[in-house]
C-alpha cells in the first residue's frame, strides 16, 4: 500500500482482538479503509476519538506500535473492460500474474437500484437441464441458490449452467473455495474457450477467512459495470455463501454483538439481502443474474443461513441422488423458481405450467406409493403405474445429464403421461389434453 | 432556536450525537455528511447524548459532523394525489428520484404541487367542526377524497368560510376556521401527521362484521376476513405467501389498497408496478393501480426506514378511512420489520428477549394491529382499515416470537404449510390449523344469513369437520393399509379430497380460476356439500378412488370455465350423470 505524502501515520494501537484492533484517531470516516502495517483494514466503529478497525487478513503479528494509515475511501475496485478474463483476490488484486487492470475506481457495496427503475425480468435462461428449465425455469435478473450438502456436485452443475446460459459475462466469486475447485472452474472455463468472458474473484481456503466478506461486493461491482455501462447480460456465480456468513459471524462475535439464531449476527438477513438484491434487470437491457451455493449441514434448511437465504432469493434448487435410477437429479419437490411464471407458457409453449404441475403431482403420488410399499402394503394398479412413471421421469427429465430444449421436454412429458395414465388421472385442462395428448400406437 | 448537535460516535447506522439543547424521543434530525443531509430519528437519550438511527448508509460520516434537529417526529404529508404512487418507507416519491440508483439524502415531495383538483365544498360558514370533519371533497381517481379539518386541531372550530367549488392546488386555502379564542386558521388540502400515532378522529370502533370479499375461496368460504378485520399469513419460504398476498390485493373488494413491501424482494414490488397499471379491478372495471398505493422499502434499502415503512402505510390507511372509505392494508413482511427492531435493539446493547428480539416486541405488534378496524365516523359514515400481514417464521417454525405475538392479536390465521406446498396444493393454507375468529361473531353470522344464505355458516363448518375427518382417516389408512379399513372410510376420505381439490385449491395463475366471486363460491359450496351428504355404493376401495378422481376432474374443469357459460353447464350436466351412477336412492 503506497502512502501518500502528508498522510498522518498513527503508531499507537490500544486494543487488539483476533479480527479487530482499536486506536485513537481523529477525522476518520465510517467504512473508511486503513492499512495496519500494510494489512488492509476497515473502520467498523467510532466512539469519540477511538476507532475500531476490522483487519481482513487477521490480526496475527500486529504490534501495538504498528503503523496505521487511513486512506480516506471505502473499499473499491477499478472497473473497466480489462477485467475480462482475469483472476483477482478479495481486494481486487490480480492473482494470475497479469498486470493491474486500468479502469475507473468505484466504491464496492454501492447504492441500491431504485425499485421503480427496475424492469420486470422476462427473459428465459435456458440450461438444457429439464429439472431446471421445465420445473424451475430461470429468468435473467433472478437470484437463486443451490441448497446442497458439501458432497454434492453443485460446482459442476453451476459451471455447466454458466456455460450453457447465453450470458455476455460470467463473474465468479469464490469464498473459501478449495484450491481444487478453483482449478476445476479455471480448467472448465478455459477448456470451453470461455475465459475471455469470465472475471473471477477468488478467496481460497488458504486465504484468511475474514477477507471473504469482500468477495460478493467485488464480484457485484464488476457485474454492475458490465450490466449498467455495457448493457450486458451478466451471470454472477457465488460459491459458497455459507462461508461468507460464517465470516460475518466471526466479525460480529469479535465485536461483542449479541448473536441471534445459530450464532449468526442479527443483521444476517439484511447483509445477505444487500448482496442478492443486486440481481436486477435494467430497462436498457443489461441484467445481473445471481446463482449461488449455500451449503447445508446434514440437509438442515432451518439453519439461519439457508433459512434467511430462502426468504431473500427467488427460489432455490436442490440436488439429490435418486437411487432408483442411479443419477443425480434436481429435486422437483423442494426446488422452486419464483420467477418461472413470468416465462412459462409465455416464452415457452402454452402447456408448460400445467404439464410441469401434473408431472410433479404424479411424482408425488409415486412417492406415496413408495412409502406404502416400504410399509409392506399392497399396491394398486395406479400405484404401480406411478412408480414406473417416476423412474422414467427421473432418468429422462430430472437427471442433471439431460440436455434438451424446452419444447422437447414438454413432448417427453406428454409421452410419459400417455404411456402410463389416462387423461382423467393426469388432470389437465381439457383444451390442452385435446391438443397434446399422445396416443401411443 | 432549533437544537443542534455534533456526531460523537458511529456504529453502522446508530450514531451518537451530542446536543446543545432539548430533544425529544423519536424527533427527526438531519446529519450533514460531506454536504448531504441524512435523515435520522432519535431512539434513546442519555444526558447530552442523543442516540439516533440514520435512515441511510453512514459511509464516510465523521466525528464532528453536524446535526440539526427538526422539533417534530417522523411525519407523513397527507392530501390528494397519493393514489397510484410509489413511495419509499419515508414517503419519498420514488418516481421523482433521478437516476437508476438510489442516492443517499435524496428526499422527494410526496404529492404534486401544481396539479389542480376539482373541489366541492361540503361544509358551510357557521358550521361547528372538529378534527377529522369533512370540509369539502375532490375527486382522486374516482374516489371522493375528503378535505378534512386537520387531525392535529384540538377542540371545536367555527367555519368562517369555505372555498367555492372550483379548481385548486393542494397549497390553496380551502377553508378558514375560527378557534374558541376567536383566532382564524387557514386550512389547505394537505396536513401532516406523525406516523407512530394512531389517527383517532372517529366516534366509535365497533366489532367488525361485514365480509370483505377477496375472491380466494379458502379465505372467503372457509376462513373469511371482514372489513376492518385483522389477519396474518405465516409460512416458510416457498409456500406461496407472496402469491396469496398479491391475489388478495388484486381481487379484494376495497376502495383503496395499500401495499407495504417491507424488507422483501424488489422484484416482487416490480411485479406490482408492472402489472397493476394493466390489471382491471374486478369490482369497478378500472385499472388496479388507480386504487393502489405502494410503500416499497425492499430488503436492500436501509433497515431503519424499513421499520418506518409499516407506520407510514398504516397512517395513510387511517387517513383514507377517515374519509369513509374501505381500505385494505397488506404488509409483507412483518417479520422483516421485527428484524429491523432487533438490529437496532442489538446496537443499542439492550438486554435481548427471546431469539434476540427486543423485549417489547409483543407490545409493538399489538399496538400496530390495534390501529386497524371498522369505525363509525362522527358524521355517521363508516370506514375501515383491514390489515393483513405476512410473517416469515425462521426455519418455518411457528413457535418463534413474531408468529406467537402476532397470533395473540390477529383474528384470522392463514397458516401456510410446507407439506401442502410440496404437493403443489395451492394456496397452501392448512385448512385445519387456520382459523377466522369472525365466523364465531353473532354480528357476522347475522350479516352472512342476510346477504348470502342462512345455511352458509353451517355448510362451512361442515366442510371443516370433513377435512379433519379426512385427515384422520388418511393417517389410519397409512397405518392399516388400504384394505385394513372399511370401504366407507375411503368414501369419507375422498369426500375430503373433493373439498380440497374443488374449494381449497385454486389456480392463482389461471385467469378464471384465480377470482371466484361470492355467488360462484356459494354455488360450488352447495354442489360440493350435496355430494358430501350423499350416500354412495361401492364394492371396493379401488372403485372409490377411480370414481372420485373422475368427479374431481369434472369439478376442476368447471372451476376453469367461465361461470354459467355453455362449457360450465356442460360439465355440470356431466357431473349430474356421474353422480346418478353411484348415488343410492
Average pLDDT of the residues in B353-364: 91
pLDDT at B585: 54
**Residue of chain A minimizing CA distance to B60:** A29
The C-alpha atoms of residue B578 and residue B582 are separated, in whole angstroms, by: 7
Residue B235 has pLDDT above 80, yes or no: yes
Average pLDDT of the residues in B50-72: 95
Contact across the interface for B296 and A274, Cβ inside 8 Å = no
Residue B405 has pLDDT above 50, yes or no: yes
Grid cell 414490488 in the structure block, residue = B269
Q: Please list every residue in chain A whose beta carbon sits closer than 8 Å to the beta carbon of residue B102.
A: 111-114
Contact across the interface for B395 and A303, Cβ inside 8 Å = yes
pLDDT tens across A94-128, in order?
Answer: 999 999 999 999 999 989 999 999 999 989 999 99
pLDDT at A333: 86
| Distances, alpha carbon B256 to alpha carbons B226, B270, B528, in Å | 15, 19, 34
pLDDT at A4: 53
In Å, the largest CA–CA distance within chain B is 90
DSSP string, B234-275: E--TTSSHHHHHHHHHHH---SEEEEEEES--HHHHHHHHHH
Pairing of strands B191-194, B75-78: antiparallel
Cell numbers given for A273: 439481502
Q: Please list every residue in chain A whose beta carbon sits closer than 8 Å to the beta carbon of residue B266.
A: 112-113, 115, 118, 277, 280
Contact across the interface for A429 and B296, Cβ inside 8 Å = no
Residue whose C-alpha is closest to residue B224's, from B253, B198, B246, B197: B253
Please, are residues B163 and B171 in contact by the beta-carbon 8 Å criterion? no
Chain-centroid distance of CA A30 in Å reads 29
pLDDT tens across A378-404, in order?
Answer: 898 999 999 999 999 999 999 999 999
Average pLDDT of the residues in B318-327: 98
pLDDT tens across B36-52, in order?
Answer: 999 999 999 999 999 99
Average pLDDT of the residues in B377-394: 95
The C-alpha atoms of residue B53 and residue B76 are separated, in whole angstroms, by: 18
The C-alpha atoms of residue B535 and residue B579 are separated, in whole angstroms, by: 10
The C-alpha atoms of residue B398 and residue B236 are separated, in whole angstroms, by: 9
pLDDT tens across A62-95, in order?
Answer: 999 999 999 999 999 999 999 999 999 999 999 9
Please, are residues B513 and B560 in contact by the beta-carbon 8 Å criterion? yes
Choose the closest CB to B553 out of A121, A361, A424: A424
Beta bridge partner(s), residue B260: B295, B331
Q: Please list every residue in chain B whose beta carbon sits closer than 8 Å to the beta carbon of residue A116.
A: 86, 94-95, 273, 296
The C-alpha atoms of residue A167 and residue B103 are separated, in whole angstroms, by: 29
- Smallest Cα distance from B237 to chain A, Å: 5
pLDDT-derived band at A341 (thresholds 50, 70, 90) equals: confident
The C-alpha atoms of residue A108 and residue A265 are separated, in whole angstroms, by: 21
For B169, left (φ over 0), alpha (ψ -120 to 50), or beta?
A: beta
SS3 of B11-64: ECCEEEEEECCCCCCCEEEEEEECCEEEEEEEEEEECCEEEEEECCCCCCCECC
Q: Please list every residue in chain A whose beta carbon sits closer than 8 Å to the beta carbon of residue B104.
A: 111
The C-alpha atoms of residue B323 and residue B83 are separated, in whole angstroms, by: 14
For B54, left (φ over 0), alpha (ψ -120 to 50), or beta?
A: beta
What is the interface pTM, i.e. ipTM, of the complex? 0.88
pLDDT tens across B333-353, in order?
Answer: 899 999 889 888 888 888 888
Residue A3 has pLDDT above 60, yes or no: no
Phi, psi of B551 (to 5 degrees): -65, -45
pLDDT > 90: percent of chain B = 82
The C-alpha atoms of residue B221 and residue B214 are separated, in whole angstroms, by: 10
pLDDT tens across A174-220, in order?
Answer: 999 999 999 999 999 999 998 899 999 999 999 988 899 999 999 99
* Contacting residues for A136 by C-beta, under 8 A, at least 6 apart: A315, A317, A330, A335, A336, A337, A340
- Smallest Cα distance from B558 to chain A, Å: 10
Name which of A9-23, A86-100, A245-259, B276-290 the model is least confident about: A245-259
Average pLDDT of the residues in B480-504: 94
Which is more confident, B534 or B582? B534
Q: Please list every residue in chain B whose beta carbon sits closer than 8 Å to the beta carbon of residue A32.
A: 60
The C-alpha atoms of residue B114 and residue B284 are separated, in whole angstroms, by: 29
The C-alpha atoms of residue A377 and residue A379 are separated, in whole angstroms, by: 6
Mutate to test the interface with B, among A220, A266, A417, A424 (most CBs of B within 10 A): A266
Q: What is the residue-averaged pLDDT of chain B?
A: 94
pLDDT at A428: 87
Cell numbers given for A172: 465468479
| Distances, alpha carbon B3 to alpha carbons B75, B76, B192, in Å | 18, 22, 21
Residue A359 has pLDDT above 90, yes or no: yes
pLDDT-derived band at B165 (thresholds 50, 70, 90) equals: very high
- Smallest Cα distance from A214 to chain B, Å: 16
For B147, left (φ over 0), alpha (ψ -120 to 50), or beta?
A: beta
pLDDT at A1: 44
pLDDT-derived band at A256 (thresholds 50, 70, 90) equals: confident
Burial of A140 (0-12, 13-18, 19+ CB in 10 A): buried
Choose the closest CB to B394 out of A261, A270, A372: A261
* Contacting residues for B230 by C-beta, under 8 A, at least 6 apart: B369, B372, B386, B387, B388, B409, B410, B411, B412
Mutate to test the interface with A, among B48, B266, B545 (most CBs of A within 10 A): B266
pLDDT at A441: 41
Q: What is the residue-averaged pLDDT of chain A?
A: 91
Average pLDDT of the residues in B233-250: 90
Residue B122 has pLDDT above 90, yes or no: yes
Contact across the interface for B9 and A336, Cβ inside 8 Å = no
Q: Please list every residue in chain B whose beta carbon sits closer than 8 Å to the beta carbon of residue A76.
A: none
Chain A CB within 8 Å of residue B265 CB = yes
Choose the closest CB to A48 out of B9, B265, B483: B9
Average pLDDT of the residues in A27-55: 93
SS3 content of chain A, % helix, strand, coil (to 5): 35, 25, 40
pLDDT tens across B433-486, in order?
Answer: 999 999 999 999 999 999 999 999 999 999 999 999 999 999 999 888 888 899
Contact across the interface for B9 and A120, Cβ inside 8 Å = no
Contact across the interface for A425 and B549, Cβ inside 8 Å = yes
- Smallest Cα distance from B154 to chain A, Å: 39
pLDDT at B226: 97
Chain A CB within 8 Å of residue B418 CB = no
Contact across the interface for A314 and B552, Cβ inside 8 Å = no
Give the predicted TM-score (pTM) of the model: 0.92
What DSSP designation does B368 have? Answer: H
What DSSP designation does B495 have? Answer: H
The C-alpha atoms of residue B579 and residue A361 are separated, in whole angstroms, by: 26
Amino acid at each position: 500500500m503506497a502512502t501518500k505524502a502528508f498522510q498522518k501515520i498513527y503508531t499507537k494501537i490500544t486494543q487488539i482482538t483476533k479480527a479487530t484492533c482499536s486506536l485513537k484517531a481523529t477525522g476518520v470516516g465510517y467504512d473508511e479503509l486503513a492499512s495496519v502495517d500494510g494489512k488492509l483494514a476497515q473502520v467498523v466503529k467510532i466512539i469519540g476519538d477511538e476507532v475500531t478497525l476490522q483487519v481482513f487478513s487477521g490480526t496475527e503479528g500486529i504490534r501495538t506500535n504498528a503503523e496505521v494509515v487511513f486512506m480516506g475511501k471505502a473499499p473499491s475496485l477499478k472497473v473497466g473492460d480489462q477485467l475480462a478474463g482475469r483472476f483477482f483476490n478479495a481486494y481486487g488484486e490480480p492473482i494470475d500474474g497479469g498486470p493491474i487492470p486500468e479502469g475507473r475506481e468505484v466504491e464496492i457495496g454501492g447504492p441500491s437500484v431504485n425499485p421503480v427503475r427496475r424492469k420486470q425480468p422476462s427473459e428465459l435462461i435456458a440450461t438444457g437441464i429439464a429439472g431446471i428449465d421445465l420445473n424451475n425455469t430461470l429468468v435473467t435478473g433472478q437470484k437463486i441458490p443451490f441448497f446442497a450438502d458439501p458432497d454434492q456436485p453443485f460446482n459442476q452443475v453451476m459451471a455447466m449452467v454458466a456455460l450453457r446460459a447465453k450470458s455476455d459475462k460470467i463473474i465468479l466469486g469464490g469464498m473459501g473455495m478449495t484450491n481444487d475447485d478453483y482449478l476445476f472452474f479455471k480448467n472448465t472455463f478455459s477448456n470451453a474457450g470461455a475465459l475471455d468472458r469470465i472475471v473471477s474473484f477468488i478467496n481460497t481456503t488458504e486465504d484468511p477467512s475474514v477477507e471473504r466478506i469482500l468477495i460478493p461486493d467485488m464480484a457485484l461491482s464488476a457485474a454492475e459495470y458490465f450490466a449498467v455501462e455495457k448493457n450486458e447480460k451478466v451471470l454472477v456465480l457465488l460459491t459458497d455463501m455459507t462461508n461468507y456468513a460464517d465470516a460475518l459471524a466471526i466479525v460480529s462475535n469479535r465485536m461483542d454483538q449479541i448473536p441471534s439464531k445459530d450464532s449468526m449476527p442479527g443483521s444476517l438477513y439484511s447483509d445477505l439481502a444487500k448482496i442478492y438484491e443486486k440481481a436486477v434487470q435494467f430497462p436498457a437491457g443489461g441484467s445481473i443474474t445471481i446463482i449461488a451455493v449455500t451449503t447445508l449441514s446434514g440437509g438442515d434448511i432451518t439453519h439461519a443461513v439457508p433459512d434467511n437465504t430462502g426468504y431473500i432469493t427467488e427460489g432455490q434448487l436442490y440436488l439429490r441422488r435418486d437411487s432408483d435410477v442411479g443419477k443425480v437429479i434436481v429435486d422437483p419437490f423442494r426446488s422452486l423458481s419464483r420467477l418461472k411464471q413470468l416465462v412459462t407458457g409465455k416464452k415457452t409453449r402454452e402447456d408448460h405450467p400445467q404439464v410441469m404441475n401434473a408431472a410433479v403431482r404424479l411424482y408425488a403420488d409415486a412417492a406415496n406409493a413408495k412409502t406404502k410399499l416400504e410399509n409392506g402394503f399392497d399396491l394398486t394398479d395406479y400405484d404401480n403405474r406411478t412408480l414406473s412413471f417416476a423412474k422414467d421421469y427421473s432418468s429422462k427429465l430430472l437427471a442433471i445429464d439431460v440436455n434438451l430444449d424446452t419444447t422437447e421436454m414438454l413432448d417427453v412429458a406428454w409421452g410419459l403421461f400417455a404411456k402410463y395414465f389416462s387423461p382423467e388421472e393426469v388432470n389437465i385442462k381439457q383444451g390442452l389434453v385435446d391438443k397434446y395428448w399422445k396416443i401411443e400406437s | 432556536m432549533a437544537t443542534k448537535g455534533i456526531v460523537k460516535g458511529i456504529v453502522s447506522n446508530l450514531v451518537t450525537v451530542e446536543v446543545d439543547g432539548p430533544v425529544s424521543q423519536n424527533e427527526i434530525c438531519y446529519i450533514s455528511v460531506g454536504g448531504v443531509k441524512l435523515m435520522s430519528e432519535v431512539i434513546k437519550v442519555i444526558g447530552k447524548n442523543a442516540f439516533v438511527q440514520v435512515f441511510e448508509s453512514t459511509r464516510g460520516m465523521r466525528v464532528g459532523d453536524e446535526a440539526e434537529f427538526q422539533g417534530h417526529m417522523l411525519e407523513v404529508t397527507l392530501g390528494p394525489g397519493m393514489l397510484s404512487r410509489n413511495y419509499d418507507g419515508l414517503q419519498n416519491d420514488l418516481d421523482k428520484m433521478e437516476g437508476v440508483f438510489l442516492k443517499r439524502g435524496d428526499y422527494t415531495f410526496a404529492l404534486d404541487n401544481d396539479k389542480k383538483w376539482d373541489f366541492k365544498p361540503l361544509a358551510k360558514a357557521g358550521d361547528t367542526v372538529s378534527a377529522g370533519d369533512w370540509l369539502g371533497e375532490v375527486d382522486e381517481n374516482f374516489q371522493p377524497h375528503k378535505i378534512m379539518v386537520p387531525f392535529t386541531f384540538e377542540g371545536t372550530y367555527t367555519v368562517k368560510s369555505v372555498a367555492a367549488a372550483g379548481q385548486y392546488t393542494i397549497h390553496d386555502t380551502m377553508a378558514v376556521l375560527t378557534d374558541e379564542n376567536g383566532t382564524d386558521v387557514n386550512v389547505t388540502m394537505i396536513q401532516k401527521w406523525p406516523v407512530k400515532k394512531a389517527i383517532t378522529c372517529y366516534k366509535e370502533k365497533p366489532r367488525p362484521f361485514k365480509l370483505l370479499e377477496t375472491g380466494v375461496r379458502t379465505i372467503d368460504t372457509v376462513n373469511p376476513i371482514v372489513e376492518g378485520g385483522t389477519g396474518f399469513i405465516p409460512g416458510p419460504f416457498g409456500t406461496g405467501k407472496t402469491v396469496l398476498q398479491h391475489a388478495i390485493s388484486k381481487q379484494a373488494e376495497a376502495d383503496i389498497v395499500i401495499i407495504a413491501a417491507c424488507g422483501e424482494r424488489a422484484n416482487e414490488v416490480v411485479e406490482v408496478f408492472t402489472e397493476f397499471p394493466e390489471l382491471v379491478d374486478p369490482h369497478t372495471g378500472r385499472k388496479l393501480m388507480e386504487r393502489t398505493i405502494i410503500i416499497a422499502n425492499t430488503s436492500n434499502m436501509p433497515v431503519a426506514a424499513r421499520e418506518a415503512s409499516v407506520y407510514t402505510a398504516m397512517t395513510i390507511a387511517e387517513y383514507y378511512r377517515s374519509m369513509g372509505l374501505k381500505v385494505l392494508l397488506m404488509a409483507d413482511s412483518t417479520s422483516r420489520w421485527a428484524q429491523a427492531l432487533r438490529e437496532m435493539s442489538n446496537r443499542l446493547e439492550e438486554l435481548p428477549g427471546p431469539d434476540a428480539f427486543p423485549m417489547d416486541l409483543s407490545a409493538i405488534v399489538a399496538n400496530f394491529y390495534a390501529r386497524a378496524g371498522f369505525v363509525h365516523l362522527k358524521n355517521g359514515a363508516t370506514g375501515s382499515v383491514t390489515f393483513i400481514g405476512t410473517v416469515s417464521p425462521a426455519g418455518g417454525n411457528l413457535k418463534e416470537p413474531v408468529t406467537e405475538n402476532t397470533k395473540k392479536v390477529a383474528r384470522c390465521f392463514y397458516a401456510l404449510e410446507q407439506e401442502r406446498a410440496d404437493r403443489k396444493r395451492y394456496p397452501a393454507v392448512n385448512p385445519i390449523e387456520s382459523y377466522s375468529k369472525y365466523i364465531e361473531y353473532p354480528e357476522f353470522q347475522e350479516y352472512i344469513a342476510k346477504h348470502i344464505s342462512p345455511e352458509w355458516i353451517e355448510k362451512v363448518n361442515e366442510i371443516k369437520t370433513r377435512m379433519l375427518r379426512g385427515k384422520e382417516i388418511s393417517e389410519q389408512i397409512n397405518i392399516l393399509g388400504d384394505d385394513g379399513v372399511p370401504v366407507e372410510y375411503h368414501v369419507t376420505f375422498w369426500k375430503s379430497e373433493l373439498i380440497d381439490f374443488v374449494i381449497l385449491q385454486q389456480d392463482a395463475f389461471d385467469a378464471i380460476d384465480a377470482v371466484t366471486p361470492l355467488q360462484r363460491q356459494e354455488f360450488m359450496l352447495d354442489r360440493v356439500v350435496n355430494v358430501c351428504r350423499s350416500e354412495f355404493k361401492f364394492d371396493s376401495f379401488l372403485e372409490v378412488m377411480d370414481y372420485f378422481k373422475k368427479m374431481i376432474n369434472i369439478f376442476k374443469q368447471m372451476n376453469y370455465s367461465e361461470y354459467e357459460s355453455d362449457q360450465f353447464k356442460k360439465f355440470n350436466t356431466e357431473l349430474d350423470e356421474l353422480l346418478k351412477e353411484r348415488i343410492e336412492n
